Structure 1
């Protein structure tokens, strides 16, 4: 999937992405968040901007509720 730096990714996008990672790799929410920090964000939490970062953190908070 190609990402453009100018668009903000949504909470829904991150929820679906994280759920896919969790199922395919059999990870916990915490492990999934770390994986996404390393792989998706390439170790730079603001690589896609502050708004996308906020959406990601909100999605991770939502996953904690399950």
Structure 2
């Protein structure tokens, strides 16, 4: 997946991506979070920018409930 590094990604994007991961790999929310972090952020919090990382955490909190 190609991501434009110029803008902040929204929580809806991360929720949709984690749902896709959970459906494709039949995994838990925690596993989907870890895979998303590895794949999109290359396991570095600042890889897509600080604001995108905050939105990622917000999406994770929303999806795990």
Q: TM-score, normalised by structure 2?
A: 0.92
The farther-off stretch of 13-22 and 31-40 is 31-40
- Distance, in Å, in 1 between the alignment partners of 2:11 and 2:24 is 20
1:13-24 superposed matches below 5 A: 13-24=13-24
Q: CA deviation at 1:10?
A: 0.4
Aligned residues of 2:8 and 2:51 also touching (Cα < 8 A): yes
SS in 2 for 1:47: coil
Q: TM-score, normalised by structure 1?
A: 0.91
- Distance, in Å, in 2 between the alignment partners of 1:21 and 1:51 is 22
SS in 1 for 2:47: coil
RMSD: 0.9
| Match in the other structure for 2:47 | 47
Q: CA deviation at 1:46?
A: 1.0
> Runs of at least 4 residues of structure 1 off by over 3 A?
none
**Unaligned 5+ runs, structure 2:** none
**Unaligned 5+ runs, structure 1:** none
